[in-house]
Structures are given as structure tokens and as C-alpha cells.
Chains A and B, each alone.
Chain A
Amino acid sequence: MTHSVEEHPSHEIHLPKPSYWPMFLGIGFALLMLGFLFWRSTATEALGQGLMIGGLVVMLGAIGGWVATNIRARVRDHAEVLGGPEAAKLAMWTFIGTECIIFGGLIAHMIYLWLRDTDVNHALHNLEALLIVSVNTFFLLTSSLCVVLGLAAIQRGERLGLAKWLAGTAVLGAAFIGIQAYEYSKLFAEDITLTSSQFGSGFFFLTGFHGLHVFVGVMWALVLLVYTLRGGFTREAHMGYEVFGLYWHFVDVVWIFIFTLVYLL
């Protein structure tokens, strides 16, 4: 049970300690991007691959370290989120606002390619491709339902219910990534790749970037699942879950536009 500061004037607010992990995450991302640049040239392809793998390892290690430190601080030391729970929500809405710009540019690029040549996405216009992407859309819409039903469960104080819906969200998100990988393999077989054409680079960058967001969401859901099972959320205090929900629904909204404006046009 939680108590307000006013009720207990002696209550002290413990904030998480400063962390080096975000810095390592930034270094890892820089290595990944640098590797991508080197990989594009045939002379430095191997160096690029090495840098990308190294960057990815550093990034995953940093994310793991950061998450573990945060869970330890919240569960063991009962540290509070800097600025209070509403600040986390405000930060997520700000993040969503900036993400709109990035995805807006990427989707606009695909629309311009389509305006130039309305048959540019012909590889996506067969029954099998549409069936694959429709199943994936259904999975993502269902995962959004799981997230809100999880919220309703914790608002009733049902922690196990929340864990169940979180597990469902993670499974559906993972299935989405798996099906996307299958879709990519079919397109590769038709010689449509990241470097084959403007359509290929636009399509794989947009859907891959979205898939990366789904991957991050799945990891986040799994972390919250562990946190929930360890007694992390209560009926009164579950803002962390609400913030995750905002992220997941935003990823769903982006997919709604990708599905219509890239696959169905």
C-alpha cells in the first residue's frame, strides 16, 4: 500500500542513483551507425560488420545493465521516478511527438514513391503477401487489446491478471516480428532488398525501424512481467505500466498507417 508524503511528513523520497549505462547505450548506437556506414562500401564491408555486431552487443549489454539497475533500485531501495510518476507520462508523450516526425517522414517517402509510380509496391499486392500482413495487423491490434485489459486488471488490483495480459502482449509482439522476418525472406527471394531499389530501401528501413520498436516493446513487456511477478505494481501505483502502454499503442498507431499507406495503396 502506498501513502502520500502529506500523510507521513518524515517519508523520504529516494531517487535512483546516477547511472553510466545510458552513456554506454549511446556509444553502442554510435558504433552501430558507424559500422553501417563502413558496411555500405565493399572495401570496408568486414570492418563495418564487426563494428555493427560490436555496437549491438554494447547496446544490448547497456540496456540490460540499465534495466537491472533500475529494477534493483525500485524493488530493493524503493527509489522514485525522477519528477514523480506524471513526469514519466509527460516524457513518453514528448517522445511520441518526436517519433511522429520520424515516422511521418519515412511514410511520406513511401507515398511519394507511390505517386511517381503507382505500381512500385506490386510485390506486396498478391494474396499471400496481403494475407501475411493482415495476420500481422491482427496480432498487433490484439496485443493492444491485451495491454488495455492488463491495465483494467491492475486497476482492479489483480496482479496475476496483469501478468497474464503482459505475457500475451509479449507473445503477440514476438509473433509479429517472426512473421515480419518470414515476409522479408519472401521479398529477398524476389530480389527485393535494402539496396535493390528506392522502394526496397524505403520499405525495409520503414518496416525495419517499426519492427525495432516492436522488439523494444517486447523486451519492455518481459521486464515488466518480471517486475509484476515480483510484486512491482499495485492497484494504486502502476504508472510505469501506463507509460509502457502509451509506447505500445503508439507503435500500433504507426502500423495502422504503414498497413494502409504502404501495403494497401
Chain B
Amino acid sequence: MANPPSTAGEQTHAHPKPNYVGVFAWLTGFTLVELFVSFMPAELDSIKVPLLVVFAILKASLVVLYYMHLRYDSRFYALLLLSGVFFAVLVGRFLPAVQK
């Protein structure tokens, strides 16, 4: 199980520095591809929608892993984030029942 990070000691953690500009280039590239995909005809919705969702998850993962440094940081932070995402999915799943 992940342990909470220590609250004592040094101010910052030393970890490898990601290529921030490279990550930005990927994010911009994925966004342009998303725009291209969004113009696909409605008949191709069965491909279009999953593609858009995959690109959104890829972009969000890049930001979380490299800009928010979750790849190098305490796993406890990842646990906090994933529990938030889990409950968000749960809320989304049961939303229609509440709306009825």
C-alpha cells in the first residue's frame, strides 16, 4: 500500500527533468488530430467517439505524468487522484438514475 509522503525534510524532491517542450508538442499534435477527427461524418461516430476519448485520455495522462510530475512523485498522490477519478466515474454511471 502507498505510504503518505513525509512532511518533514527538504523543500523539493529531485527527479529527472522531462522534456517539457516535447510534451507540449505532443499535446498540440494530439489536439490537431482531434480537430481533424471531429470533422469526420456522423456515420463514422462508432470510430470517431472512441478515438476522441482515447486522445483526451492520452493528453490528460501526459499532463498528469510529466507536468504534474506524478511519474516521479509519491504513489500516494496517484492514489488520491485515482480515487477521485473512480468516484467521478461512479457519479457519472449513476447520474441517469438520479435525473429520473
Q: Could you tell me which A residues sit within 8 Å of B by CB distance? A: 2, 4, 83-87, 89-90, 93-94, 96-101, 103-105, 107-109, 111-112, 118, 130, 134, 137-138, 141-142, 144-145, 147-149, 152, 155, 236-239, 242, 245-246, 249-250, 252-253, 256-257, 259-261, 264-265
Contact = CB atoms under 8 A, between A and B. Distances in A.
A97 B84 CA distance: 4
B87 A101 contact: yes
Which of the listed residues B63, B76, B89, B96 has the most CB atoms from chain A within 10 Å of its own CB? B63
SS class of chain A's interface: helix, strand, loop or mixed? helix
Nearest to B4: A90
Which of the listed residues A96, A111, A245 has the most CB atoms from chain B within 10 Å of its own CB? A96
Contacts of B11: 2, 85, 236-239
Interface in B22-70: 24, 27-28, 31, 34-35, 37-38, 42, 45, 49, 52-53, 55-56, 59-60, 63-64, 67-68
Given A94-B80, A249-B67, A105 B88 contact: yes
Interface of B: 4-12, 17, 20-21, 24, 27-28, 31, 34-35, 37-38, 42, 45, 49, 52-53, 55-56, 59-60, 63-64, 67-68, 76-77, 80-81, 83-85, 87-89, 91-92, 95-96, 99
A100 B85 contact: yes
Given A96-B81, A264-B37, 18 more contacts: A83-B7, A86-B9, A89-B5, A96-B80, A97-B83, A98-B84, A101-B84, A101-B88, A105-B91, A107-B92, A134-B35, A144-B67, A237-B12, A249-B63, A252-B63, A256-B56, A261-B52, A265-B52
Contacts of A141: 24, 27-28, 31
Which of the listed residues B12, B20, B52, B59 has the most CB atoms from chain A within 10 Å of its own CB? B12
Contact of B60 (A4, A84, A245, A253): A253
Which of the listed residues A85, A97, A152, A242 has the most CB atoms from chain B within 10 Å of its own CB? A97
A148 B68 CA distance: 9
Contact of A96 (B28, B60, B84): B84
22 contacts: A84-B9, A90-B4, A104-B84, A108-B95, A109-B95, A118-B45, A130-B38, A141-B27, A141-B31, A145-B24, A147-B67, A149-B20, A155-B17, A239-B11, A249-B68, A252-B63, A256-B59, A259-B34, A261-B56, A264-B37, A265-B38, A265-B49
